[in-house]
Amino acid sequence: MAIIVDDISRTFHEYLLLPGLTTKEHTPHNVSLKASIQRHTASEGAKISLNIPFVSAAMQAVSGPELAIALARKGGSAFIFCSQGIEEQAEMVRLVKEHKAGFVESDSNLSPDASLLDAVNLRKRTGHSTIAVTERGEPNSKLLGILTSKDFWEFKDDLSRPIREFYTPLEKLVLAQEGVTLQGATELLWKNKKECLPIIDKAGNLKYLVFRRDYFDHKSNPDELTDNEKRLFVGAALNTFDYKERAKALIDAGVDCLCLDSSDGYTEWQAEAARHIRKEYGKEIIIGGGNIVTKEAFRYLVESADVDFVKVGIGGGSICITREQKGIGRGQASAVMDVAAERDKYFKEKKIYVPICSDGGLNSDTQVIIALAMGADFVMMGKYFAMTEESPTNKITYRGRLYKPYWGEGSNRAKNWQRYSQSDSDKLSFEEGVDAFVPYSGRLGDKVDISTAKIRAAMCNVGVLNIKEFHEKARLTRVSEMTLVEGGTSTVEQLDRIPSDRG
């Protein structure tokens, strides 16, 4: 007879945190959200940590370069999806690594013979009002001057005239040479009261533009996650099929962290792939494994595959139908608690700490807080990020509201059969994910700021200042259905729910 694990599969929704003593030092400002992402010993401590405990799912509708840049700037990391060609994925990694915070490669360039109408159209297309005028009308060509909206009047000047008659020439600009530090460039902008500083090489070719507004942006992102060379941090996923070539291409492109992406990571294929990467590239490269939902699987990946962190979660994703299709999975809270207990046991035995990531099914900031309290070191989210401006999809409108498309990697649309198959011949024959829309939620940075403010506040209520303490001191209580009802508003007419008289 099969073994019946008799405890019920629990979800985060079924728990609440109890407050602990909040002392005067427990203020949101004092809370550190740093989360280790690499296995480490107690004495060494974590060499590499996320500055906030958020990573984005390795999914086509989620983790492209724009989102990866936005998330690293807030202190987390994206995992660039692997359901694409090896070169395409490596190129996305390269784009993130080459993004120089503050140094922007000009995307609006024209030659002096272009017309004012060309400039107006370009401005409409890019949304940028600073146009570099270069000899060939391309970046990396000899810089001749800059055209901004102050140089001409769109509704007064003859738009058929060439921009050579309007742009501000080099002699009147403040410039800096390639190699200038961001601080040096900022000083020049400030001293000369300029909005934009072009950076040129020795031959006079345009390399970058530095903008005043980016300085303020940089200042407002103190948690930015970077590597040793101050380049933004980025992760990438890979499968257990073409991992040899893929890992090489991703590492050559500068990836900081790899994660084996499988709907069921408790397999010999995963252990083999992880061991290969470790043997080829050593301890320096961070390797994540998963997904798993049991303590046995955790032990297996940690001992047989030598992974740095383990991702927990099967069947809980917002677009996932694995549980319906195959009857496989586990309530996410039960999975996290079971694996976290094993992680702590392993730490006691071997003095090695292996971080765990709760992946999928996090529907609110509250659930993120409960996941962290229960033992997750960080969380991976798909829907949360798919909803943001920076996800790779276009916004659409439906009944007057903005949405973004979001589809599972196991859907027919993504065709990521490697994530769900055990063998090469066994290509996706039934779907495990759906194709959907999610409400548009604005810019990633604003959304993350709100979520992290709530996590910090909850940690202060519990009386802890970092995630390790959160794991050790959090006390949670199970809730009844009536507790949930009691937690909502009651016997009041909520203003935002009263139908307006304008219909």
Q: Which amino acid is present at 474?
A: A
Burial of 87 (0-12, 13-18, 19+ CB in 10 A): exposed
Element (H, E) at 61: none
Collapsed DSSP state (helix, strand, coil) of residue 208:
strand
Distance of CA 499 to the CA centre of its chain: 38
CB of 59 to ligand MZP, least distance (A): 5
**264 makes contact with ligand MZP (CB under 6 A):** no
* 74's tokens: 């807030």
The binder of ligand MZP chosen from 36, 51, 63, 322 (CB under 6 A): 322
In the bound state with ligand MZP, the residue whose beta carbon lies nearer, of 65 and 433, is 433
Collapsed DSSP state (helix, strand, coil) of residue 401:
strand
* Binding segment (CB under 6 A) for ligand MZP, from list 81-89, 99-107, 180-188, 378-386: 378-386
In the bound state with ligand MZP, the residue whose beta carbon lies nearer, of 26 and 383, is 383
User: Which phi and psi (to 5°) does residue 90 adopt?
Assistant: -65, -35
**Residue of 261, 234, 230 whose CA lies nearest to 50:** 234
CB of 119 to ligand MZP, least distance (A): 42
In the bound state with ligand MZP, the residue whose beta carbon lies nearer, of 291 and 294, is 291
The rounded distance, in Å, linking the Cα atoms of 451 and 456 is 9
Strands 168-169, 143-147: pairing kind: antiparallel
Residue 399 designated active-site: no
The binder of ligand MZP chosen from 101, 131, 250, 320 (CB under 6 A): 320
* Binding segment (CB under 6 A) for ligand MZP, from list 83-91, 118-126, 377-385, 477-485: 377-385
Length of the chain: 503
In the bound state with ligand MZP, the residue whose beta carbon lies nearer, of 214 and 359, is 359
Residue 320 designated active-site: yes
Q: Which amino acid is present at 101?
A: A
User: Which phi and psi (to 5°) does residue 53 adopt?
Assistant: -85, 45
Residue appearing with tokens 């019946």 = 4
**464 makes contact with ligand MZP (CB under 6 A):** no
The binder of ligand MZP chosen from 17, 46, 59, 310 (CB under 6 A): 59
Query: Which among 39, 94, 123, 419 is annotated as catalytic?
Result: 419
Cβ-proximal residue to ligand MZP, closest one: 433
CB of 335 to ligand MZP, least distance (A): 12
**410 makes contact with ligand MZP (CB under 6 A):** yes
Identify the bridge partners of residue 470 per DSSP, sorted by sequence position: none
CB of 105 to ligand MZP, least distance (A): 31
Q: How many residues at the interface with ligand MZP, by CB under 6 A?
A: 24
**317 makes contact with ligand MZP (CB under 6 A):** yes
CB contact at 8 A, 232 and 224: yes
**289 makes contact with ligand MZP (CB under 6 A):** no
CB of 48 to ligand MZP, least distance (A): 21
The rounded distance, in Å, linking the Cα atoms of 427 and 101 is 41
Binding mask of the shown chain, residues 323 to 362, with x at each position contacting ligand MZP by CB under 6 A: ------------------------------------xxxx
Strands 309-312, 286-292: pairing kind: parallel
Intra-chain end-to-end CA distance of the chain, in Å:
60
Q: Which residues contact 345 (CB under 8 A, 6 or more apart)?
A: none
* Alpha helix stretches (DSSP H) within 230-382: 243-253, 268-281, 295-304, 322-326, 332-350, 365-374
The binder of ligand MZP chosen from 342, 433, 456, 458 (CB under 6 A): 433
The binder of ligand MZP chosen from 383, 404, 447, 456 (CB under 6 A): 383
**34 makes contact with ligand MZP (CB under 6 A):** no
**408 makes contact with ligand MZP (CB under 6 A):** yes
Binding mask of the shown chain, residues 220 to 259, with x at each position contacting ligand MZP by CB under 6 A: ----------------------------------------
The binder of ligand MZP chosen from 240, 294, 332, 411 (CB under 6 A): 411
Q: Which residues contact 159 (CB under 8 A, 6 or more apart)?
A: 115, 116, 117, 120
Q: Which amino acid is present at 483?
A: T
* 105's tokens: 């490669």
In the bound state with ligand MZP, the residue whose beta carbon lies nearer, of 75 and 433, is 433
**SS3 sequence of 295-335:** HHHHHHHHHHCCCCEEEECCCCCCCECHHHHHCCCCCHHHH
- Number of helices (H) and strands (E) in the chain: give both, helices first: 15, 24
CB of 30 to ligand MZP, least distance (A): 29
The binder of ligand MZP chosen from 382, 393, 404, 464 (CB under 6 A): 382
Binding mask of the shown chain, residues 384 to 403, with x at each position contacting ligand MZP by CB under 6 A: x-------------------
Query: Which among 320, 343, 357, 460 is annotated as catalytic?
Result: 320
* Binding segment (CB under 6 A) for ligand MZP, from list 133-141, 153-161, 207-215, 315-323: 315-323
Q: Which residues bind to ligand MZP, rule: CB under 6 A? A: 57, 59, 291, 313, 317-320, 322, 359-362, 380-384, 408-411, 432-433
Which of the residues are catalytic?
A: 320, 419
